[in-house]
Amino acid sequence: MNMLWYATYGSSVNRNRFMEYITGGTSAFNGMQLPGCRNKGEPIRDVAIAIDRELYFARNSDAWGGAVAFVQPNPSKSQTLGRAYLITEEQFVDIAAQENGRRPADAELVLHYDYAEKNAISYLNRSDPSRPSGQGGLWYGRVLRIGTRESWPMFSLTAEWEGYADLNPPSRGYLTCIADGIRQLGRISEKALVEYFYGKAGVRDRISKPVLQRWLP
């Protein structure tokens, strides 16, 4: 059985939110109905990480009432705070399906494990891992190889499109979910959290620092 680290940076940084993708049911964060993974076992473990990709907020999620998080595919000096979960390949694919509004075991979304392990960028494309499955439109159809930890590859997911697409501000509930997840990983000040989010594309020039301070007490 293939194992891997799933490197998260959006709402799944919050372990309680991440576990909803595993177990399924009605989300306590946004009311979505999630089918959950076929394998409902908890991650073997999880660790705090810094992802060397630029975080930004774009598009509009009806469930969250605003933009959601993505990272640029290429390495950057910008460090994105995240959490990595050691899970099975099957769980990763089932989570990816849910992230893309699909059902677990969707035959069209396939992780080519060996290819993804050897290439910095791949796609959840059943027929060709070097090409986008959603013709550039899947929100979380691009697989990024972030590195290796304890001999297992570390993968993250981001958009198939290039650039920033439709930059948009996130909702209070979405940012709070991420912020609470970051807090779960260790002590961090309100000021540091505000500065972290304020500099991100989709937030800067759209949400003021005083508003962020009210959102992230």
In sequence order, the β-bridge partners of residue 87 are: 4
Q: What is the pLDDT of residue 159?
A: 97
What domains are defined for the chain?
A: 3-187 (3.10.490.10)
DSSP class of 213: H
Alpha-carbon distance of 124 to 111, in angstroms, equals 5
170/172 Cα distance (integer angstroms): 7
Is residue 203 a contact partner of residue 197, using CB atoms and an 8 Å limit?
Answer: yes
pTM equals 0.96
- What was the pLDDT predicted at 133? 86
Nearest to 143 by CA among 158, 128, 154: 158
Nearest to 112 by CA among 157, 139, 154, 143: 143
Structure tokens that stand for 73 in this block: 């595919």
Check residue 187 and give its pLDDT: 87
Nearest to 94 by CA among 70, 83, 82, 110: 110
List the pLDDT tens digit at each of the 217 positions of the chain.
899 999 999 999 999 999 999 999 999 999 999 999 999 999 999 999 999 999 999 999 999 999 999 999 999 999 999 999 999 999 999 999 999 999 999 999 999 999 999 999 999 999 999 999 877 789 999 999 999 999 999 999 999 999 998 999 999 999 999 999 999 999 899 999 999 999 999 999 899 999 999 999 8
